[in-house]
Amino acid sequence: MSPRQFLQLLGPIALLVGCSSTPAPAAKTPAEQCKEGDLVVCERACRSGDLDSCVLGGTQLIAADGIGGERAKKGEQLLELACAEEHPAACGVIGQLLVEGKLLSDDPIKASAKLRQACFGHHAPSCATLGVMTKYGRGITKDEERGTELLRNACAAGEARACYEVAENYLYGKHVRVDVERGLGYLRDGCEKQVAASCYRMGLLHMNGEFVEQDDKKAYALFVEGCGERKDPNACGTLGVFHLVGRVVEQSSARAAELFDTACQKGQPFACIEYTNMLIEGNGVYVDYRLAKEILEEHCTKDTPGVCETLGKRYTERLGPFADATPERISEVFGMACEGGQLSACHQYGDRLLRGEGIARDVAKGAKHVQSACEAGDGKACTYFGFLQLTGLGTSRDETAAMGVLQQECEDGDPRACTYLAEKLEFGDSTRGSNAKARQMYMSACKAGDTRACVREADLLWHGHGVVLNYKLARVSYERLCERGIADACARLGFASQAGKGIALSYSKAINLYEDSCVAGSWEGCARLGVLLRDGIGVNKNLERAKELLERSCYHQHALGCYGLAQMYEQGLGVSQDRAMSRTLLESACATYEKEACYALARH
């Protein structure tokens, strides 16, 4: 509740002055002067014991100056003076301002104490605020039953916004016996008393046909009322959806953007997301990446995880000013979203933890977050977690469970899951026909958009798995895919040049392709370049850079990178010899189908 609303609740406190027979107006009392905004008189009257003037003056001083200003500090002193004298409204104003973060102190315990003091003094608005805090555990211990009792008392005392909360209890039988008619009655009464939230709630019931007849026109009218003068953010945001999709009213993206903007300014997270989407797409408004970024950054807090997730995704898209975000900032906002309860963001946050991108690497924590996203229904996160179970990265290796998860996600339409299954068939299944089946799965996954599958399909030609070995056709496939910007295909083309198969042998061309593909994110390209630098093939030997490239590749779970690094530790090339480390790296490489690593592990 704003200070202005508190002033309205306090009502007139000036003494009425009797009529005079003379035409000259009667002198105004200090209370009247204070109410009219004479803050000097307010302070003087307060110091003289007029507690109502303390409340009026203190509230106005804080509203005029903002947090931390000298007048705001003086205003808080006046309110504390009146509260110490057991003035309920003064204690209530302090509590409410603390809840809203409009005082220097940010102490929910102090806020609840002040509101409790005011509530005991029969100040209904404070009882309502305290009831909400208690019911939902906002800053204090959650106690739904006690919160509901406080709200019922505030409602009985005429506080209409408390009746909105009480209505929910009667509708759903929370700590009271279900009484739908009584609950609807509270909402209707609240809406008639201009409690915008009650109008919105009634509109929502009509929109969904819950407890009342489904009626979009009635719902729309109630949303209009809720978004009226008091501009309930939920009502305005829902109206925006009606205008965006043309439900009941003529479709208007411009009107929808206006309503989303209004709701967003009032703190409605969904509306902020929708409005920024429209700013980025130029739907109903001019394209404005800068404004979209400012809005998302302003509204991304621990209490708005959906906004944080959207901001993180926009950062990764790197459009306009969003490209300025550092890896640390991107990880931070995904972390805020995930840990704030937006489980769909845990997929991205977990992935960044697993890769150590913009945050200290923690594979166990990363795998746990990916699992959480999977359990929340994110199919792609399930595919990722299945891969982690298959390789044992960050979680216990469980091939049976992994295959079950990947099979389900493949059937549900995730092409990457199908690719992982095909790889298992190609490299981990020696039964007759497994390569042919793998090829069919690669082809289907490639057509569905998984570039990894497209590269794997070309690999079959290179290795002669399930098809006639044909280096030339494989090279042509790699070239076509490389031209599409698929970095792993460029790395494969580099290896064809290095081997001189299907193309003229050229170390310089191979090295250039490895360099470019590594920069573009192909960990195979990094690994192959690292091996050449380690062994001094086609390039001057550079063990330091070789180690860096192989570590980077292995770090991102590429088998060749781990195998190449294992050889360095086994032989002590550029590192201290460490056979235990070598074995660990070989196990990791073997788990992801690097056969040479498996042979080396068997001999280790």
Digit-coded pLDDT (tens) for 1-27 = 444 444 444 443 332 233 344 455 556
Cβ pair 344, 376 in contact under 8 A: yes
- Token match 């991304």: residue? 300
Give residue 421's pLDDT. Answer: 93
pLDDT in tens, 357-374: 899 989 899 999 999 999
Nearest to 401 by CA among 416, 418, 387, 414: 387
Q: How far is CA 385 from CA 306, 330, 519, 572, in A?
A: 22, 22, 26, 34
Mean pLDDT score of the chain: 88
Cβ pair 167, 155 in contact under 8 A: no
Give residue 2's pLDDT. Answer: 45
Q: How far is CA 14 from CA 39, 53, 404, in A?
A: 15, 10, 76
Cβ pair 550, 565 in contact under 8 A: yes
Nearest to 346 by CA among 402, 311, 305: 305
According to the 3-state scheme, what is the secondary structure of 69-117?
A: CHHHHHHHHHHHHHHHCCCHHHHHHHHHHHHCCCCCCCCHHHHHHHHHH
Cβ pair 591, 391 in contact under 8 A: yes
CA diameter of the chain: 116
Give residue 104's pLDDT. Answer: 65
**Is residue 231 scored above 60 in pLDDT?**
yes
Query: Considering Cα of 10, then 14, then 15, then 20, what sign does the dihedral take?
Result: negative
Buried b (16+ CB within 10 A) or exposed e, 73-111: ebbbebbbbbbeeebbbbbbbbbbbbbeebbeeeeeeeb
Give residue 431's pLDDT. Answer: 64
Q: How far is CA 477 from CA 264, 365, 375, 471, in A?
A: 49, 39, 38, 10
Cβ pair 367, 395 in contact under 8 A: yes
DSSP letters spanning 513-549: HHHHHHHTT-HHHHHHHHHHHHHTSSS---HHHHHHH
According to the 3-state scheme, what is the secondary structure of 234-281?
A: HHHHHHHHHHHHCCCCCCCHHHHHHHHHHHHHCCCHHHHHHHHHHHHH
CA atoms in the 13 A half-sphere facing the CB of 539:
23
Token pair recorded at residue 333: 């906002």
- Token match 């809720």: residue? 226
Give residue 332's pLDDT. Answer: 96
Within 10 angstroms of residue 210's Cβ, the number of other Cβ atoms is 11
What's the rounded mean pLDDT across residues 456-478?
Answer: 90
pLDDT in tens, 167-193: 988 899 887 889 999 999 999 988 988
What's the rounded mean pLDDT across residues 419-443?
Answer: 83
Token pair recorded at residue 247: 């439900």
Cβ pair 267, 261 in contact under 8 A: no
Nearest to 488 by CA among 460, 462, 453: 453
Cβ burial of 302 (10 Å; 0-12, 13-18, 19+) is: exposed
In this prediction the pTM is 0.74
Provide the residue count of the chain: 604
**Is residue 597 scored above 80 in pLDDT?**
no
End-to-end CA distance of the chain: 71
CA atoms in the 13 A half-sphere facing the CB of 141:
4
Q: Which residues are CB-contacts of 404 (< 8 A; sequence separation ≥ 6)? A: none
45 pLDDT band, cuts 50/70/90, is: confident
Q: What torsion do the CA atoms of 284, 289, 290, 291 make, to the nearest 10 degrees?
A: 30
Give residue 592's pLDDT. Answer: 67
Nearest to 553 by CA among 599, 512, 594: 594
Q: Distance of alpha carbon 562 from its chain centroid, rounded? A: 34
DSSP 8-state class, residue 321: G
pLDDT in tens, 388-425: 998 888 899 899 999 999 999 999 999 999 999 998 88
pLDDT in tens, 370-387: 999 999 999 999 999 999
pLDDT in tens, 102-149: 876 778 888 899 999 999 999 999 999 999 899 888 888 899 889 988
Please tell me which residue, 403 or 29, carries the higher pLDDT value: 403
**Is residue 288 scored above 80 in pLDDT?**
yes
Cβ pair 361, 354 in contact under 8 A: yes
**Is residue 222 scored above 80 in pLDDT?**
yes
